[in-house]
A and B are shown apart, each in its own frame.
Chain A
């Protein structure tokens, strides 16, 4: 079946540090890939997405490139801020399957210290 694997957290960084959160996937078909962010006590917000190989999703300084050859969709940001502290989820959805819903990774907590 479909699955998403993320690096375990928490990831603790100082403000202005470079961020990478790794995400790899297995999929039964051709997936779309997503990053969602969850702030404490809230629902999830879409951060960025990519729907085909070599696409780069970007938003709010975050980027991720769809790498089909390595089945990866790593999240990066050049300079993190305290306000980026949250849990980040990698997810996928696959076309042409009976199940039309997102499959999520376990989430990676990011803590940014001033």
Chain B
């Protein structure tokens, strides 16, 4: 089945550690996104990528890093510089129209990854 796979579902991080969340899609989508969701709040954009080997910062990129070496993969690293990393992380993808980017196109989400600092 086509879709977006995030792993792990649950992850615990010790203080000072870097951790990487995996996101893989087999939908042949050009664009991929990472969002962070805090309890009772909406989603905030961390990073997004519209093409391989290129990505842009979202609203809350500090303390995070990404790579886009393959079209189907967009891993997110939560670094030790992120002071409050406990949250639910959602990966998403979409096709891009030739004009207007993701305008009107559906963005599909993975099941999410829970990250907790211990």
Contact of B102 among A41, A42, A93 (CB under 8 A): A93
- Inter-chain contacts of B111 with A (CB < 8 A): 42-43
Distance between Cα atoms of A41 and B37 in the complex (Å): 11
Distance between Cα atoms of A32 and B31 in the complex (Å): 17
List residues 68-118 of chain B with CB under 8 A from any CB of chain A: 90, 92, 96, 99-104, 106-112
Encoded as 1 (CB less than 8 Å from any B CB) or 0, chain A from 97 to 110 comes to: 11111111111000
Q: Distance (Å) between the CB of A88 and the closest chain B CB? A: 11
A89 touches B48 (CB 8 A): no
| Number of CB contacts from chain A to chain B under 8 A | 77
B residues neighboring A (CB under 8 Å): 4, 6, 31, 33, 35, 40-45, 48, 50, 56, 58, 90, 92, 96, 99-104, 106-112
A residues neighboring B (CB under 8 Å): 4, 32, 34, 36, 41-46, 49, 51, 89, 93-107
